[in-house]
Structure 1
Amino acid sequence: MKPFFTLAFFLIVGVVFSQQIKVLDKTSKQPIPAVSIYNTLKTTSTITNFDGEANISEFLENDNITFNHILYQDLSIEKSQIESIIYLTPTVEGLDEVFIAASKFKQKKKDIPQKIMSLHAEDIAFNTPQTSADLLENTGAIYVQKSQLGGGSPMIRGFSTNRLLITVDGVRMNNAIFRSGNLQNVISIDPFSVERTEVSLGAGSVVYGSDAVGGVMGFYTKKPKLSYTDSLHFKLNTTVRYATANHEKTGHFDVNFGLKKWAFLTSVSYSDFDDLRMGRHGPKAYLRPEYVVQDDNGNDYIKRNDNPKVQKPTGYNQINVMQKVAFQPNNNVAFDLGLHYSETSNYPRYDRLIRYRGENLRSAEWYYGPQKWFMGNLQFTKLSSRSNLYNKVQTTLAYQNFEESRYDRDYQSTIKNIRKEQVDALSFNADFEKLLSQKTELFYGAEYVFNKVSSKGKEQNIVNGTTNNTVSRYPDNSNWQSAAAYLNLKYKPREQFILQSGIRYNYISTYADFSNNNTFLNLPFNDTKINSDAVTGSLGISWIPNKMIHWKVNTSTAFRAPNIDDVGKVFDSEPGSVVVPNNHLKPEYAYNAEIGLGLNFNQICLIDLATYYTYLDNALVRRDFTLNGESQIMYDGELSDIQAVQNASHANIYGFEVGIQLHVSNHIKLTSQYNFIGGDEDNNGKDVPVRHVAPQFGNTHLVWENKKLKVDFYANYNGELSYNQLAPSEQGKAYMYALDANGNPYAPSWYTVNLKTKYSLSPSATITAGLENITDQRYKTYSSGIASAGRNFLVSLTYSL
């Protein structure tokens, strides 16, 4: 009997030992923590610990087990075939790359019928963006406009500002005062804290509701990492960076403390930017020959700029802080708390400071006060093997506070205009994922959003310090609410063909109280309440007939409901014009169609093509208006034409995109991206160019990389927009553009040649250096008031412990 028991003992030990597996990176052979491991119906699941280890004893022998991680290709294998080590292959912008933004849950790229682009933490660190606006520009699919150094307004497929949606960790950042004019809220997001950015090109209203007309920009910040053991997992990252074009000085650190069930992550970044220097070769119209200063007695005078290539004043500083806490009591339940805070110093509105009135500069001062943003969000995630309603549920409760202000004073005037705004935003989302069968998956959810707007207006006498109330930018104590439910169905009859369709119902309520502003405006109404609803839908297919071809076809509708900025804003849109409230607004609708084609030639050459068309109906646009029968009004001491936002237009927007990746060898890669956008809108019966349709633009990169060194030699380029191709609102802004032979403003073409390198000094230390705009070109991105950086040398050092 003894030999029998001995044999039985070793068989049991062998079986138990075989249940413990280790998951490693196929390339580096390093362990991969936080790999989700589950069977087909997700009735059994587990996750790897910090050492990449997991126990799979609870799975049945005939279970087909999937290993899933956002940075690696999924691997599915029957349990009986699993050995002690599993190797996962990193994703490289391929069909197996996983995206979240399309449905709020993980989906493979090949399953999504619309075009999505992404940047990982490694890409972001290598590109060394100064702000998250620059980070978006590095995708090659997003055009960025800047009115000042502290800014960056993305444009996607002919749409921008409040027709694009920004999310942070799944929470919508757009609020009730996101405007149709260029805005810079995206700079509140710290690029050092971003782990991944996903950009959905085209409409996303089914999942995200109002504003997601032209695209969704999803920022996913770093998560605390657990140790999954009784020992502590400690990780520290530090970075310092310097750039010459604006004497940028940046410092950053983040530290992670991970326990078995709890983890804590702290991230802090601080940047200081001096005045920005433009390039040497380009239009003279961009130079800054003079600027306004005050003498010791507080009197304004115009001073000659010793170096007209330096744009005075443009400098500012910014701090970002993030604190995250994660609690995971078991493999099926997780709680995540995120706290974000961002604050800038005062920063000059440069495009307003370069305007002239006659022979003199128009403004002595025009600057934004500190832009502050706070977000606290609590997320609960649960996997279930028993519920008939879901396999996964995720709820998010979030609170945000936005503060912004504007200060302006005319040259040699004693009156400074001050307008301050604050928005409190509360939101709740419940999102569900349910696998109905092997072929059918359901995503559905509900959302509620509430925004409260506070707005104050004052005039300050800079001589004696006295203040008087004046018209505020927005109606004080206004609110905006949205309630919605959505459903999205994915049907996958076979691996090569996926159909997705969705529908969303949204109810929106906007209330504005004009009683305070009526003291100054004498509106024919004291308040307004607009209730509206919207139904949007989508239908798309992803078809891969063979290894070489990948088709995507997608149709969708989207909408944008009028917000407080549309209904109640009062501001000077341009010299001699003022925008006033309008209480007769309804949502605008967009109807979209897109066709995409991917070609894969043996993983050596990959080509990505897409063409799209959008029809925007009942477009909310700024047009001439009358108030109490009058077409002009006194505003801030100036007789101004009256305008208002109205449902007064429709637009046609179209374009195509082409991207290529050519893997010349194991170490050399060539990539290129090109975008063409066109469009026209109705302006009082006449077709005119759409304001936010960017010029043709693109980039080309030649990358060489080995284990320690990476070198990227690349070019960015941009086509011309002639005077006749500018929107009417842009044709009147000669101070922002170059002048053609007829003296008319136009946006010249431009290019830059650049070089970036990264070298690993050790496993813990990395140095990144670059020389941007090597030929020192002087240029502006379209519609920008500030010229871009001239030749710029940058260097950053990162150390990890």
Structure 2
Amino acid sequence: MKVFFFFFFVVALSQAQQIKVLNKQTEAPIWGVAIYNFDKTKSVITDANGEANIKMFSASEVLYFQHLSHIINSRKKSEIEKNHIVYLESNTQGLDQIVISASKFEQNKVDIPQKIISINANQIEFMNPQTTADLLENTGQIYVQKSQMGGGSPMIRGFSTNRLLITVDGVRMNNAIFRGGNLHNVISIDPFAVQRTEVTFGAGSVIYGSDAIGGVMSFYTKDAQLSYTDTLQVKSNVVVRYATVNNEKTGHFDINLGYKKWAFLTSTSYTDFGDLTMGSYGPEDYLRPEFAMVTDNGDVIIENSNPKVQRVSGYNQINMMQKVHYEASKKFAFDFGIHYTTTSNIPRYDRLIRYSENDLRSAEWHYGPQKWFMANVQASKMRSNSLIYDKAKITLAYQNFKESREDRDFNSTIRNKRDEALDAYSINLDFEKDLSSKTGFFYGVEYIYNQVMSHGQEVNIQSNILTPTVSRYPNDANWKSAAVYSSIKYKPNSQFVFQSGLRFNHITSYANFKENNVYLNLPFESSKINAGALTGTAGLRWSPNTIMQWKLNGSSAFRAPNIDDIGKVFDSEPGSVVVPNKDLRPEYAYGGEIGLGLNFNNALILDLSTYYTHLDNALVRRDYTLNGNTEIVYDGELSNVQAIQNASKAWIYGFEVGLEANFTEQLKLTSQYSITRGTETDGGIEVPIRHVAPNFGNTHLIWASNNFQVNVFANYNNELSYQQLAPSEIEKDYIYAKDTNGNPYSPSWYTFNIRTQYKITDSTSFTASIENITDQRYKTYSSGIAAAGRNFVLALKYSL
């Protein structure tokens, strides 16, 4: 019996000296915290669960807690033993040094030979973006196009839409109907729910496969946080926001229930946007002098009492998220997440401002509710003695996308309606193994299955008779991807890192055109694609001294034709229709990047990078023939026939520079500037590329203290002349300003802005901004809707 009590006492004492180190903001465990005494004669490191045993220290000793991404902290051991938890404050600069997207496991950003930017939850809260597209634009390094207010299509290094990849919690959002035209799915992600965003510039196909040519946008949403005690811990946040320029009214609520092993997080956001008002000073071409309205007596043209108000552009959106976390043991954890987003009808503003001769062409043109649902589960093994892995993750996900389009010409009785739905299933197995103290190995396998449902109908608005018509996509088409990938990291010392990776991807797809052939009479009944793609990357980081850091990277990437490329039927522009093409192959990109970082004792930091990409077998929209015809009737209009084809090559290059000058601990200046150039072949000649943005940049003067911060900044954008516009952009002259010769062009513009945040108490903060102070009237390049004029934004946050 004495032996039993002695054993029980030893176990209890050992458990009593086991502590956990957590991030104060997120309550996530912090791995790799160095814990030591004053003279550093004793030390211990926290494990993957943030845990460490401090029995080696005496009760009277002061312990110091040090970690790369957190502010150093010190506590007396006797105080720590009261609740066994130590919280560390995040160091914003340090947080930006840890990234996951490069290999799906945590790595130090300075070791990655590609340019990656990170935006954390605190920065997002201060940015106060209306949508996630605005979040990306606020980085100052990503260009965003908007066809309508309910949209936002990012452009990165001359690439956009389905040549960029979006992931949410490691799950691929890109699907088989992601189009080559401007794409707005990123607004389905709730900025209030995002814990961290990582954007990789350049190719990412080795880890993420098809579409990751120009960059990868990785969104990691907030996780449910444990209490690590037997006591229930409740945390909650409430945010309300109002913006004047579109009468935005936003409310957000989240609550976290944390137990010792179980945690639950619920998050909900609702936003209502009115019509967007443009600025007062700029091109008159952007004004909205009149708009179409549907009345009981038919369609009428209404004179706009305020041409700066972009009638009709408002919509609303709701975002919901549920997270569950279960920590079965120190080695095993399970995460389950559900995301659901839906919108109201979203007016397609750029189509509503088109004219046919002297009258507005459309009485109605809107996207139906854009719905996105994702359920994913991830099982993680944090430590293992296995010979083949140290860490492992398995991620299973199901997504459902629903979207539709409805349009009706002015005074027409026929409304065209096309509905699409897509089911996406995916499974990923990812592993990390340290081959030695200097070499790490990452590898994984992936399988994706997409199934597309698509229907078209014409609705007679007088008789309500429904008539089937050609659908946008071949109904019941499918797209599959299977891949194996790996990468290796060799770091012989702190000055040098070499990383390389390889991926083999096999893509198959099938589309049956039998239903649509009733209307199209295609010379084929079906399309099958069976293609393999081998891509690789290799890069190094070299820091010869404390001032200089070089990065060099070369890579290849690919995009396999999806169902949107193979089988889409739609009016690409006034007087043109795109039809299916079964003879498509993957397009490939080959590129390189050189980066130089200069850090002069943190007083002045410069970040320079230049890049080049060659796109081969590019999938582009070009004129086509259907059964020998160059024109067909589509939705009642004689239209020029086009199709997606492997008909081009492209060359894109650019230069980026960033600067940070720290004058004091509170005051700093930051600035970024991006230059992109590129051409592609069209009919044997080189022409500008559609998604190459103008030169753009920003400059910020930031002052921050404990409770107050202010950011005074300017955004600026160069002109794109008529000669610099892509042919497809020239054809959309109705969205552009006119130069002195009457030709479309994209004028230069600038805005001055101020953003402030005041922490009233530990639980309450207030954010206020004035955007576009001088009320400039402008459009970002290729946008159908004009940007916001002078805007006052007020937000209040209360945390429990």
TM range (shorter): over 0.9
Amino acid at match of 2:752: V
Cα offset for 1:139?
1.3
| Structure 1 contact 556–592 (Cα < 8 Å) conserved | yes
Contact 1:45/1:331 (8 A) holds in 2: no
Q: Is the CA contact (8 Å cut-off) linking 1:500 and 1:540 kept in structure 2?
A: yes
Instruction: Name the residue aligned to 2:70.
Output: 72
Map of 2:369 onto structure 1: 370
- Counterparts of 1:219-258 in structure 2 under 5 Å? 219-258=219-258
Kept in 2: contact 1:682–1:688 (CA 8 A): yes
Seen in structure 2, the aligned counterparts of structure 1 residues 663 and 86 have a Cα distance that, compared at 3 Å, is: farther
What are the residue-to-residue correspondences of 1:56-135 with 2, within 5 Å? 71-72=69-70, 90-93=90-93, 97-135=97-135
Give the CA deviation at 1:36. Answer: 2.1
Q: What percentage of residue pairs aligned between the two structures are identical? A: 63
Q: Quick check: 2:510–2:528 contact (8 Å CA) kept in 1?
A: yes
Q: Give the direction of change, closer, same or farther, for the CA distance of 1:495–1:448 in structure 2 (3 Å limit).
A: same
Provide the secondary structure at the position in 2 that maps to 1:519.
Answer: helix
Matched, 1:640 2:642: no
- SS of the residue 1:45 aligns to: coil
Which residue of 1 is the match for residue 476 of structure 2?
477
- Once the two structures are superposed, residues 67-121 of structure 1 have per-residue CA deviations (whole angstroms, 9 ceiling, x without a partner) of 898953899xxxxxx9999896744345971001111110001110000001110
Partner residue, 1:499? 498
Aligned to 1:557: 556
C-alpha contact 1:34 1:69 (8 A) present in aligned 2 = no
Query: SS state of the match for residue 465, structure 1?
Result: coil
- The answer on whether the counterparts of 1:23 and 1:86 sit within 8 Å (CA) in structure 2 is yes
Whether contact under 8 Å (2:498, 2:541) holds in the other structure is yes
Report how far residue 351 of structure 1 moved.
0.1
Displacement after TM superposition at 1:45 (Å): 3.2
Residues 19-41 of structure 1: CA deviation (Å, up to 9, x unaligned): 5457488xx9x9965122489xx
1:611 and 2:610 aligned: yes
The alpha-carbon deviation at position 460 of structure 1 amounts to 0.4
Alpha carbons of 1:735 and 1:67: their partners in 2 closer, same or farther (altered >3 Å)? farther
Unaligned segments of structure 2, at least 5 residues: 1-5, 35-43, 58-62, 74-79
Given that residues 33 and 67 in structure 2 are in contact (C-alpha distance below 8 angstroms), is that contact kept between their aligned partners in structure 1? no
In the TM superposition, residue 301 of structure 1 has moved relative to its aligned partner by 1.2
Does the 8 Å contact 2:213/2:557 carry over to 1?
yes
Q: Contact 2:481 / 2:505 at 8 angstroms: preserved in 1?
A: yes
Distance 1:190 1:15 in 2: 45
Distance in 2 of aligned mates of 1:370 and 1:199: 28
Q: What is the CA–CA distance in structure 1 between the aligned matches of 2:487 and 2:720, rounded to whole Å?
A: 40
Q: Secondary structure at the match of 2:123?
A: helix
2:337 — aligned with what? 338
SS at match of 2:511: strand
Partner of 2:3: none
Q: CA offsets per residue over residues 296-353 of structure 1, 9 Å max, x none?
A: 23x1111100000000000000000000000001111000000000000001000000
Corresponding residue SS for 1:729:
helix
1:661 aligns with 660
Cα RMSD for the two superposed structures: 2.7
Correspondence for 1:524: 523
Give 1:34's aligned residue.
Answer: 29
TM-score after normalising by structure 2: 0.93
Call closer, same or farther: CA 1:613–1:332 in 2, change over 3 Å: same
- The equivalent residue for 1:47 is 49
Contact persistence 1:547–1:600 (CA under 8 A): yes
Q: CA-to-partner distance for each residue in 1:200-230, whole Å, 9 max, x for gaps?
A: 0000000000000000000000000001110
In the TM superposition, what whole-angstrom CA distance separates every residue of 1:149-179 from its partner, at most 9, and x where no partner exists? 1000000000000000000000000000000
Report the equivalent of 1:327.
326
Per the alignment, residue 380 of structure 2 pairs with 381
Distance in 1 (alpha carbons) for counterparts of 2:146 and 2:759? 34
Contact 2:70 2:94 in 1 (8 A): no
Do structure 1's residue 443 and structure 2's residue 442 form an aligned pair? yes
Aligned-partner Cα distance in 2 for 1:323–1:13: 37
Q: Match for residue 4 of structure 1?
A: none
Cα pair distance change 1:433/1:46, threshold 3 Å: closer
Structure 1 contact 96–110 (Cα < 8 Å) conserved: no
Distance in 1, matches of 2:279 and 2:411, equals 31
The CA deviation string for residues 683-730 of structure 1, in whole angstroms up to 9 with x for no partner, is: 011000000000000111101111111111000000000000000000
Q: Paired residue for 1:351? A: 350
2-structure distance, mates of 1:497, 1:89: 30
User: 1:759 Cα shift?
Assistant: 0.4
Tell me, in whole angstroms, the C-alpha distance in 2 between the residues paired with 1:70 and 1:443: 23
Q: How many angstroms apart in 2 are the aligned matches of 1:224 and 1:85?
A: 18
Q: Distance in 2 between matches of 1:433 and 1:69?
A: 22
Change (3 A) 1:448 1:14: closer
Cα deviation 1:552-610 (Å, max 9, x = unaligned): 00000000000000000000000110000000000000001000000000011111000
Does structure 1 retain, via aligned residues, the 8 Å contact 2:611–2:654? yes
CA-CA distance at 1:641 after TM superposition = 0.6
- What one-letter code is carried by the residue in structure 2 that aligns with 1:45? D
Residue in structure 2 matched with residue 760 of structure 1 by the alignment: 759
Residue in 1 that maps onto 2:77: none
* Alpha-carbon spacing, 1:583–1:31, altered in 2? closer, same or farther (3 Å): closer
Partners of 1:736 and 1:784 within 8 A in 2: yes
Q: Which one-letter code corresponds to 2:305 in the other structure?
A: D
Q: CA deviation at 1:666?
A: 1.2
Which one-letter code corresponds to 2:202 in the other structure?
G
Amino acid at match of 1:585: L
SS in 2 for 1:567: helix
**Does 1:697 find its partner at 2:692?**
no
Residues 1:398 and 2:394 aligned together = no
Name the amino acid aligned to 1:595.
I
Q: Which residue of the partner structure matches residue 79 of structure 1? A: none
* Cα distance, 1:545 vs structure 2: 1.1
Measure, in 2, the Cα distance between the counterparts of 1:153 and 1:736: 16
8 A contact 1:712–1:755 mirrored in 2 = yes
Equivalent residues in 2 for 1:668-747, closer than 5 Å: 668-747=667-746
**In structure 1, what is the Cα distance between the partners aligned to 2:350 and 2:517?**
30
Mapped to 1, the partners of 2:483 and 2:448 lie a distance apart of 9
How has the CA–CA distance of structure 1 residues 17 and 210 changed in structure 2, closer, same or farther, with 3 Å as cutoff?
A: closer
Separation in 2, partners of 1:724, 1:553: 34
Mapped contact 1:37–1:47 kept (Cα < 8 A): no
SS in structure 2 of the partner of residue 36 of structure 1: coil
Q: 1:330 to 1:15 in 2, by over 3 A?
A: closer
> 1:635: Cα distance to partner?
0.4
**Amino acid in the other structure paired with 2:535:** T
C-alpha separation between the residues in 1 aligned to 2:237 and 2:114?
35
Which letter does structure 1 place at the counterpart of 2:160? S
Specify the alignment match of 1:280 in structure 2.
280
User: What's the CA shift for 1:183?
Assistant: 1.1
Task: Tell me, in whole angstroms, the C-alpha distance in 2 between the residues paired with 1:214 and 1:159.
Answer: 5
Secondary structure at the counterpart of residue 328 of structure 2: strand
Aligned amino acid, residue 103 of structure 1: S
Aligned partner of 2:185 in structure 1 is 185
Residues 609/669 of structure 1: CA separation in 2 closer, same or farther (3 Å cut): same
Give the drift of 1:496. 1.0
Task: Tell me the distance in 2 between the aligned counterparts of 1:164 and 1:796.
Answer: 32
Q: Tell me if the contact between 2:667 and 2:703 (Cα under 8 Å) persists in the aligned partners.
A: yes
Deviation at 1:732, TM superposition (A): 1.3
